[in-house]
Structure 1
Amino acid sequence: MKNKLIVAIFALLPLAVNAEGNPSLFDFVQGKETGKAYKSLIAKRKLPSWVQDGGTSTPANEITIRGRKYLALSGCMPHNCPSQAIAILYSPEKGDIHGVFSEYDFTEERQNLTWMNLDPTDSDDMKNILFSRLNGDVSN
Structure 2
Amino acid sequence: MLSSLRAAGALALILGLTPAAFAESAEPTLADLSTNSEMRASFDKMATGWTVPDWVLSGPVTSPSQMVQFGGKEYLVMTGCKKHDCGNNQIAVLYQKTDKVMFGLLLRADSADGPQTLNWMGMGGNAETVDGRTILYAATTGSLANHPKSFDYTD
Q: CA separation of 1:111/1:41 partners in 2, compared to 1, >3 Å: closer, same or farther?
A: same
The residue aligned with 1:80 is: 85
Q: Does 1:123 align with 2:129?
A: yes
Q: CA separation of 1:56/1:20 partners in 2, compared to 1, >3 Å: closer, same or farther?
A: closer
Q: CA deviation at 1:28?
A: 4.2
Percent identity for Structure 1 against Structure 2: 24
Q: Kindly indicate whether the alpha-carbon contact (under 8 Å) linking 2:106 and 2:119 is maintained by their aligned counterparts in 1.
A: yes
Alignment match of 2:119 (pick from 111, 114, 118)? 114
Distance 2:47 2:69 in 1: 23
Q: CA separation of 1:19/1:116 partners in 2, compared to 1, >3 Å: closer, same or farther?
A: closer
Q: Does 1:59 align with 2:64?
A: yes
The residue aligned with 1:34 is: 39
Runs of 5+ consecutive residues of structure 1 not aligned to the other structure: 1-5, 11-16
Per-residue CA shift, 1:22-55, capped at 9, x if unaligned?
A: 1221024420101111122224212221112451
CA RMSD after TM alignment: 2.7
Residue 124 of structure 1: SS of its match in structure 2?
Answer: helix
State the TM-score, normalizing by the size of structure 2.
Answer: 0.71
Residue 33 of structure 1: SS of its match in structure 2?
Answer: helix
Aligned length: 128
Alignment match of 1:95 (pick from 100, 104, 120)? 100
Runs of 5+ consecutive residues of structure 2 not aligned to the other structure: 9-21
Q: CA separation of 1:41/1:55 partners in 2, compared to 1, >3 Å: closer, same or farther?
A: same
